[in-house]
Amino acid sequence: MNSLLTSAVAGLSAGGAYAILGVCVVFTYRLVSVVKFTATALGAIGAFVMVIMTEMGYPLLPSVLVGILVGALASTAVGLITTIWFSGSSQSIKAAVTAALLVCIIAMGQRLTGGQQPRAFPDIVGGAGIQLAGVTITAASLVAIGFAVFLTVAAEQVLNRTRMGLQLRALSERPMAAELLGIPVRRLAIGVWAASGAMTSIALMLVAPLRSPDFGSLSLLVVPAFAAALIGSFKSFRAALVGGILIGVIEGLASVFVGLNQYRAAVPFLVILVVLLWSQRGAQWDEAR
């Protein structure tokens, strides 16, 4: 029992990472209706710019800021591609575009960062964190979870309470109508892309030190991020937050059961499936009428 608690707590640090990335994915999807396969790869660009600058001897803070900026710019570039050429395209075409871009970005990222060559990711948040059930939860993990909570609350407040939020919702639900209403559609969409790029960059800087520090692995964090977002059906920030942490905890728990753990990778998948089938039980028809 105790070892169960311990491994569940041990899963928290991964859970924080999944939660923050999941919230970022929901953010983009809700506002610009694009499934961004490139989400974490773009964030990884920002994180690697940061680490390369610190390796070259620049101080931490400017490196972090430049990294966030570059992440935002990279995301904006992808955003421009999707908004200019694919604004009216179907979801599967948009998915295909970002999937193709993911292949492209990973290849370039691996080339520029030297394949599997590990990088010395600095802890951008120092300090030991707290002890829980014999496990240290690092300050970075705590900040990651805190940041995820902050993003969740902030995104909900902005979307539901402010005029800009209203415009953003109009943008995602009826882009044509929003344009007719005089909402600066393209500018808002680009803003969303930039913001999500910056947020994902921060998220990856926080989680990278405890992950496999190479470009490919960090880019593929998009899969658990999607899983977290999926628990909220790509709509609910809170569900994505809770879902991300839950997936981390489940991964931690699965490592205890020796018989199960060979198939551990399938466990989050099954959990997501069950959650989804339950939450979507009312959805009998597609949206087309």
Partner 1 sequence: MKRDSSFAALKTAALIFIAGALCLFLLSSYWIFLITAVFIIGVALQSLGLVVGRAGMISLCQMSFAGVGAWVVGYLNVIDFPGGLPVWLLIGGLAALPFGIAIGLPALRLRGINLAIVTLGFAVAFGVVLGTITYPGQTTFTMVARPSGLESDQGYFIFVLAIYGIIAVALEFITRSRLGASWLAIRHSERAAASLGVSVPKAKLSAFAISAFIAGISGGLLAGYMGTLLADNFSMMQSLVLFAVAIMVGAQFPLGAILGGVLVALFPELLRRLSLPQDLGSVFFGVGAVQALSTGETISEAFGRLGRKILPRRIRTQKRASEASLPAARVLDGDKAVLEMRDVTVRYGNVVALNRASLVVPQGTVVGLIGPNGAGKSTFVDAITGFLLSYEGKILFQGKEIDALSATQRARAGLRRTWQTTRMAPELTVGEYIRLASGGGLSDEEVDAILVWLDCPPSEQLISSVDAGARRLLDVAGAVAARPPVILLDEPAAGQSYAEAVMLGKRIAEIPERFGSSVLLIEHDMDLVRSACSQVTVLDFGAVLAAGATQEVLDMPSVKKAYMGIDFDEEAAQ
Partner 2 sequence: MKKLSKTIRLGSAIGLGLLATAGTALASGPTCENGPIQLGAVSTVTGPVDFSAAPKATAAFFEQLNASGGINGCMVEFEIADDRGDPLIATQAARNLVDNKKVVAMVGSASLLDCGVNAGFYQRSNVLDVAGLAVDPVCYTAPSVSGVAPGPYLLSTAMLYFASEKLDAKRVCAFNYVIGGWREAMEGAMSDWEAITGKKLHILDMTLPVQGDLTPYLIRARDAGCDAVFTNQVEPGIVQLINTADAQGITGIDWVFLASGYTEGVASALAKTKQPIYVGTEWEPYTLRNEANKGWLDMVTKAELSPSAFSQGGYLAARIITDVIAGIDGPVTRDAVSSALRTMEPVSYPIAAGPYLFGKGAMDGAMRAVKVVELKAGAWNVVTPEWLELPEAH
Interface with partner 1 (CB under 8 A): 29, 35, 37, 81, 85-86, 89, 91-93, 95-97, 99-108, 110-111, 223, 226-227, 229-230, 233-234, 262-263, 265-266, 268-269, 272-273, 276-277, 280-289
Residue 87: which of partner 1, partner 2, none does it interact with, CB under 5 to 8 A by kind?
none
Instruction: Tell me which residues in 59-98 interact with partner 2 (CB under 8 A).
Output: none
Give the number of other CB atoms < 10 A from CB of residue 199: 27
C-beta of 104 vs 154, nearer to partner 1: 104
Do residues 254 and 263 lie in contact, with contact meaning Cβ atoms separated by under 8 Å?
A: no
Six-digit token pair at 24? 């970022």
CA distance 13 to 65: 24
Residue 117: which of partner 1, partner 2, none does it interact with, CB under 5 to 8 A by kind?
partner 2
C-beta of 115 vs 184, nearer to partner 2: 115
Question: In the set 134, 157, 181, 269, which binds partner 2 (CB under 8 A)?
Answer: 134
Instruction: Tell me which residues in 141-180 interact with partner 2 (CB under 8 A).
Output: none
CA distance 79 to 110: 22
Closest CA to 152 of 236, 254, 68, 29: 236
Residue 186: which of partner 2, partner 1, none does it interact with, CB under 5 to 8 A by kind?
none
C-beta of 55 vs 173, nearer to partner 2: 55
Least distance to partner 2, CB of residue 235, Å: 27
The stretch among 172-180, 182-190, 206-214, 233-241 that binds partner 2 (CB under 8 A) is 206-214
DSSP for 98-139, written as a single string: HHHHHHHHHHHHHHHHTTT-------SS-S--EEETTEEE-H
CA distance 196 to 210: 22
Closest CA to 135 of 20, 21, 4, 242: 4
